[in-house]
Amino acid sequence: MRVSCLSALGLALITSGFGALSATALDAPHSLHHARTSESHLTEPHRTAGHHIAARGGKSVTSLAAAAREQAHLTPRGRARASARHVALTTHRHHGPYERFTASSFAAKDIYVGDVTTGEDPVVRQAAIDAMGDMNVTAVVIDPSNGRILAMVNQKLALSPGAEPCSTIKITVAMAALSEGLVTRDTMVQLPGFRMNLTQALAHSNNLYFEELGRELGFERVRHYATQFGLGELAGYNIQGEQLGVYPDQALPPSEGGVGRMCSFGQGVSMTPLQLGAYVAALANGGTLYYLQHPTTPEDIAAFAPKVKRTLDIARYVPDLQDGMAGAVEYGTARRLRANFQAFPVFGKTGTCSDKGTRFGWFASYSDSPQGALVTVFFLEGGRPTFGPRAAELTGEFYKNLLDRNWFATKGQQETASVPAAPAPQVQQ
């Protein structure tokens, strides 16, 4: 699928010397401040061109400015990287603020008609509806401790075939790179004219950083982790109408940006709100990937028991990822959330891109309240008013609505009351 990714509007024109390049997403602030460091952290002396990840204690790597002056001497891998950079630049020049959108960002009718709500938490559902207003959006709220969907508003959109994940794909790529030992939160990665670490790259949604991680990982490892995290498979357990989405069997061709483009905003991937929610729930609980369940009858509610799809070995890496997701909310692409809500920490990732006249805005997050975590996915479809920071803003409004309704306090009282022990999770084979 050829997609015009508006999340690359922050990409600056490269000068003849390949100067500083701000390849941040549309959800990112226009000004990007890079941490300064006196040395690189990882050396790869066998490389002669392209971006470089620097190793702890090593010498400074070759800059892209120098590499640009030596293009005639590039290795095949270096030429492939240069080609990928050229694709990124030339592709995005044709889109951006002049792209014409044909879809509406606003709901033309009652988008909640047909939603099955029997097993949902009515307070959570109403808080989401009030936050959504007249936007064309779906909201999915999940209890990460057991995989139960507390509310799924606008179920037609939530259960649709999915959409390009935009920059939310970066949290799967980041976890893959952490799991493979490629980076930590502090590893500085050399990019054209600047360096940044994982925390900064997640907070500001930097495309070039994640394109580099994708090339370092290679398609097979990227795909392995994506499928382990639940992309390309049903996230729910017997949720009527749920669809698979798509994770491709092959990387994009180099002419379309290759694996780097797949890792910066998910080109070629189709992801559903439920898949993203299930993965973020696993981040929130330390690695248990539950089947999501949406009870729809009194019998389903009475018989509810958590169902484990698989256990992910990610607990040790979550703090490194969480720093960047916290940065997104505190000072990065999701900072609009804090205009409405600051009562306790929320960790999240925005995403913005477009396809065939329709723009997508994602925000996935988990919270850290005294009464436990909640996972939310807000996904918008529409035109120019639709983008990731707007989804983050709606999420902040949702949390504020819950706080105003004393939902967290009530939840805490219910949990401290004498209740029967919850059934043990069932591991599905």
Rounded-to-integer distance, Cα 263 and Cα 88, Å: 13
Q: Report pLDDT digits (tens) over 363-394.
A: 999 999 888 899 999 999 988 889 899 999 99
Nearest to 291 by CA among 310, 270, 275, 307: 307
Q: pTM, whole model, 2 decimals?
A: 0.79
Total count of residues recorded for the chain: 429
Pairing of strands 426-427, 307-311: parallel
Burial status of residue 423 (CB atoms within 10 A of its CB: 0-12, 13-18, 19 or more):
exposed
Cα end-to-end distance, the chain, whole Å: 33
CA dihedral 163, 25, 13, 194 (to 10 degrees): -130
Q: pLDDT 10s digit of each residue in the chain, 429 long?
A: 444 444 433 433 333 333 333 455 556 433 333 333 333 333 232 333 334 455 433 333 333 333 333 334 444 445 445 444 444 433 333 345 567 776 667 777 788 889 999 999 999 999 999 999 988 999 999 999 999 999 999 999 999 999 999 999 999 999 999 999 999 999 999 999 999 999 999 999 999 999 999 999 999 999 999 999 999 999 999 999 999 999 999 999 999 999 999 999 999 999 999 999 999 999 999 999 999 999 999 999 999 999 999 999 999 999 999 999 999 999 999 999 999 999 999 999 999 998 888 899 999 999 998 888 999 999 999 888 898 999 999 999 999 999 999 999 887 666 545 344 555 566 555
Rounded-to-integer distance, Cα 80 and Cα 216, Å: 12
Q: Report pLDDT digits (tens) over 114-124.
A: 999 999 999 99
Q: Report pLDDT digits (tens) over 196-229.
A: 999 999 999 999 999 999 999 999 999 999 999 9
Q: What six digits make up the tokens of 125? A: 């559902």
* CB distance 267 to 355 below 8 Å: no
Pairing of strands 288-290, 194-196: unpaired
Rounded-to-integer distance, Cα 174 and Cα 224, Å: 13
Centre a 10 Å sphere on the Cβ of residue 93 and count the other Cβ atoms it contains: 11
